[in-house]
Structure 1
Amino acid sequence: MDDVVELWRPTGPEELALVEASGWSAWPPRLPEQPIFYPVLNEEYATKIAREWNVPQSGVGYVTRFQVRREFLDRYEVQQAGGQTILEYWIPAEDLDEFNDNLVGPIEVTAEYR
């Protein structure tokens, strides 16, 4: 579907519990030390972060997949955060409610790493 973009997000158990509490329909508000929400554009990058950051930090890392309306995302530039495939959006925390309003379908867990 051209009107939505498939995105990925690595996450730990605490954030995932909040997503589950929302009925798999929203990302939780950012903490004060988290001014940006970082969804990524490919599963490989999300898997790398889940394994290398979330597992050491909290013992488990999850990869999630979700879709967002392209019309909403068009106001943000894709950021290259390293290598060619390390691509992400930088969504300001104050835009997260509107981001959630533009989710299409549920947030799904596609992988778990321990």
Structure 2
Amino acid sequence: MASSETKTLWRPVGPEELRLIELSGWTEFPPRLPEQPIFYPVTTREYAMKIARDWNVPASGSGFVTEFEVDAAFLSNYRVEDAGGRAHREYWIPAEELTVFNAAIVGQIRVVDTFGNAA
């Protein structure tokens, strides 16, 4: 399924989601909770940093920005959504499609920024 081209995406996470990513061997994101119908990786590191700092830190004491590569051909099946301006763009992956999204991750998920108590 993998093509030779990838697209870099980012995902802000809290400490519990980060622990589950680590348990996967840094290769997949955990299933969504019932109240979370969408998985939303974002298109810029800056946007991910804002979410990790402004949402994850107040909610859980720390926030992390993960960076990862996704097969570009797979990602072309999804639109980039505007979540409040050009600086706030993200992909909306339905929760039931997260397993196939995880399979399209190329390489490992990396932590590139840390905020709050874990910094």
Structure 1 length-normalised TM: 0.97
Give, in whole Å, the separation in 2 of the partners of 1:82 and 1:5. 22
Aligned to 2:80: 78
Once superposed, what is the RMSD of the aligned Cα atoms? Answer: 1.2
Name 1:5's counterpart in structure 2.
7
- Corresponding residue SS for 1:25: coil
2:96 counterpart residue number: 94
Aligned to 1:108: 110
Q: Quote the residue 2:51 is aligned against.
A: 49
Residue type at the aligned position of 2:67: R
Correspondence 1:59-70 to 2 at 5 A = 59-70=61-72
Question: In structure 2, what is the equivalent of residue 39 of structure 1?
Answer: 41
Letter in 2 for 1:49: I
Moved over 2 A (4+): none
With the length of structure 2 as denominator, give the TM-score of the two structures.
Answer: 0.93
Shift of 1:72: 0.7
Matched residue of 2:69: which SS? strand
Task: Report SS of the residue matched to 2:68.
Answer: strand
Count of aligned residue pairs for this structure pair: 114
Deviation of 1:107 (Å)? 0.2
Query: In the alignment, does 2:29 pair up with 1:27?
Result: yes
Mapped partners of 1:111, 1:75: distance in 2: 28
Task: Say yes or no: does 1:58 pair with 2:75.
Answer: no
Identical columns (%): 58
Unaligned runs of 5+ in 1: none
- AA in 1 matched with 2:54: E
